[in-house]
Amino acid sequence: MKKPRVLNKRIDDDLLMKKRRAELDKWPTGKEVDFDEAVAYQKSLPDSKVWWKVMVKLQEEGRMSVFPRAGTPVLEQMIELCQGLRESGVVLIPVTTDSYTRLGQFEKVEAALKESTRTGKPLLNGFPIINHGVKNTRKLIESVDAAFSPRGAGGDIAIAAGMTTFEGCMPFITWGSYAKRTTMRELVAKWQELSGTVGWYADRGVILCTDLHGWLPGAPFPLSVNIATLVIEALTAAAQGQKALYPLVHCMGNMAQDMAWIRLAPRIIREYLDMFGYKDCRIVGACPAQTPLFPVAMDMGGAFAYLSYVAMVGALAKTNAVDLRTIDEGAGVPTKETHKVSYRAAKWIFDVVREQKIEIQIKDIEIEEKITEAEVRSILDRILDLGDGDIVDGTIKAVEAGVLDSPWSPNINVKDKVLGVRDARGACRYLEFGNLPIPGHIKEFHREKIAEREKLEGKKADYHTAVRDLWGLSRGKIVGLPPYDK
């Protein structure tokens, strides 16, 4: 096998600049972007607005911040919302863009934005960065002392406006969770075309950070596929010149697994970055995430407990950020008040628990970490085989072969031959392995664990078990005991 590498003809600056201009010309506000001015503005930002520096500061000082989602179309309302977040101790503020913006339908946005601003009632499910343009977006950023990150869209306008993250990686989430027909090859092409920006800024001394989602597990599903794709995302980002990144670690509700994954993800990403020669790309933390599961709409108590659980796991794992949803996650886009009260709860746990610097050990963490690590390694080995050392080429083939696979994807190019269910203690196990290259003895382990649950429930686990498990954590019951009265 050839030496490990990332297939990546990073396109030259002239071509890149042309593409970026073309991209910007799609909407009038694009003219507001002057690349050199943008670089200068970025360099003038205080550390408290520079994402990667904030992450490092939190980590070094042993603090945490919530990593929320926040997006409402009307500028004044968005400013208020973000100031509220800051008051609740949030120093990392992602700006969720609306779905039309994500799909480049700017006329539609413009109409809805006008209407929203007129009536004061939001008609868009996020903050349309492009339509607001550099000037308005800077107003937002300059009105809150925190670091900002564009979510889903925004690109050069967001950076010019002073946001300090940019996705240099080949993002599995857009392909695996947001797209219907896009093929892996198309994703690769798109990534190579558009991600150069991060390197362009890096060359000019502006380090843009990114979080890695990996292939979002849309349901209770072992995290090995996701972590393998986190590694791929990290490598592709580094190849584009990204110098700062950190993984989101999707918590599924089993404490031993969640904490094992929080340990494993950054460790194995570091290992592969080094192996591939990207020693100068730093990992600035790890961020347990409440996605992709979800509190149910009408259960406020449960929603608070759920977010407290994830906050607690983050605090015990000594992370520097936690991706949390509000108590209204199940109900709809949350209000300013909901954000505040939700993240106040998280802050209480951060301040009380995180700062105790608790040295925790859980017997099962070691086991879960070993299991997942072995799975991740054999998946990545197979991918490098398929690509004859090239991780990107290998990934394309791996997806086609179902060596990378995940359930419930909207994308028709996904094999969708795998399925996960919880075991008797709520840990996620593979019910169907599809073509995942999972070592035999580990498959056995999954089967035994599922058997324990089948015994407990007195029936075989199947598709319907998996469907029921979709809501398990949300409803506050991940297998375990039968009802008290029974």
CA 421/CA 467 separation, integer angstroms: 9
- The amino acid occupying position 265 is A
Strand, helix or coil at 147? strand
* Residue from the set 92, 95, 333, 450 that interacts with other proteins by CB under 8 A: 333
CB 405 within 8 A of CB 416: yes
Stretch that binds ligand B12, among 238-246, 302-310, 330-338, 478-486 (CB under 6 A): 330-338
Length of the chain: 486
Angle at 396 between CA 393 and CA 400, to 5 degrees: 140
CA distance 438 to 378: 7
Q: Active site residue: 167, 233, 368, 369, which one? A: 167
Of 104 and 301, nearer to a second copy (C-beta) is: 301
Question: Rule CB under 8 A: which of 201-220 touch other proteins?
Answer: 218-219
Of these partners, ligand B12, other proteins, a second copy, none, which one is at the site of residue 278 (CB under 5 to 8 Å by kind)? Answer: none
Say which entry of a second copy, ligand B12, other proteins, none residue 353 contacts (CB below 5 to 8 A, set by partner kind): a second copy
Residue 69's binding partner, choosing from ligand B12, a second copy, other proteins, none, with beta-carbon cut-off 5 to 8 A by kind? ligand B12
How big is the chain by its Cα radius of gyration, in Å? 22
H or E element in which residue 211 lies:
strand 209-212
- 298 is a contact residue toward a second copy (CB under 8 A): no
For 312-352, the DSSP string reads HHHHHTT-SEEB---TTTTTSSPPHHHHHHHHHHHHHHHHH
| Contact set for ligand B12, span 113-132 (CB under 6 A) | 125-126
With 0-12 / 13-18 / 19 or more C-beta atoms within 10 angstroms meaning exposed / middle / buried, residue 183 is: middle
**Residue of 5, 102, 282, 354 with catalytic role:** 102
**Interface pick for ligand B12 out of 28, 62, 104, 332 (rule CB under 6 A):** 332
Q: Binding-site residue total for ligand B12 (CB under 6 A)? A: 18
Interaction of residue 348 with other proteins, rule CB under 8 A: no
- CB of 259 or CB of 466, closer to other proteins: 466
Tokens of 442: 């580990």
Distance CA 94, CA 163 (A): 9
Q: What CA–CA distance (Å, rounded) separates 44 from 28?
A: 26
Does 143 interact with other proteins (rule: CB under 8 A)? no
In contact, 100 and 124? CB cutoff 8 Å: yes
Q: What are phi and psi of 246, to 5 degrees?
A: -155, 150
The residue assigned the tokens 């934005």 is 113
Which H helix or E strand runs over 207?
Answer: none
Count of residues engaged in binding a second copy, rule: CB under 8 A: 56
Interface pattern 67-106 for other proteins (x via CB under 8 A): --------------------------------xx-xx-x-
Is 99 near ligand B12 (CB under 6 A)? yes
Examine residue 309 and tell whether it contacts a second copy (CB under 8 A). yes
Binding positions for ligand B12, 188-227, rule CB under 6 A: 216, 218
Spatial separation of the C-alpha atoms in residues 345 and 32, rounded to whole Å: 40
- ∠ CA 35-102-199, nearest 5°, is 35
- DSSP 8-state symbol, 31: G
Q: Are strands 65-66 and 282-283 parallel, antiparallel or unpaired?
A: unpaired
Q: Does 470 bind ligand B12 (CB under 6 A)?
A: yes
H-type helices in 125-254, by residue range? Answer: 129-142, 155-161, 172-176, 184-194, 196-203, 224-239
Asked if 294 is part of the footprint of ligand B12 (rule: CB under 6 A), the reply reads: yes
Among 11, 79, 297, 341, binds a second copy (CB under 8 A): 341
From the list a second copy, ligand B12, other proteins, none, pick the one residue 96 interacts with, judged by a Cβ distance below 5 to 8 Å according to partner type.
Answer: ligand B12
Residue placing its CB nearer to other proteins in the complex, 301 or 439:
301
Taking the complex as a whole, the smallest distance from the CB of residue 442 to other proteins amounts, in Å, to 27
For this structure, is 102 an active site residue?
yes
Q: How far is the CB of 241 from ligand B12 (least distance, A)?
A: 26
304 binds, among a second copy, other proteins, ligand B12, none (CB under 5 to 8 A by kind): a second copy
The distance between the two most distant Cα atoms of the chain, rounded to a whole number of Å, is 71
* The two structure tokens encoding residue 474: 């949300």
Applying CB under 6 A, does 69 fall inside the site for ligand B12?
Answer: yes
Q: Does 484 bind a second copy (CB under 8 A)?
A: yes
Kindly indicate which of the ranges 132-140, 157-165, 374-382, 469-477 contains the residues binding a second copy, using the contact rule CB under 8 A: 469-477
Binding residues (CB under 8 A) for other proteins: these are: 99-100, 102-103, 105, 108, 112, 122-125, 177-180, 218-219, 296-297, 328, 330-335, 408-410, 412, 463, 467, 470-471
Binding residues (CB under 6 A) for ligand B12: these are: 69, 96, 99, 125-126, 177-178, 216, 218, 292, 294, 328-330, 332-333, 410, 470
Task: Please identify every residue annotated as catalytic.
Answer: 102, 167
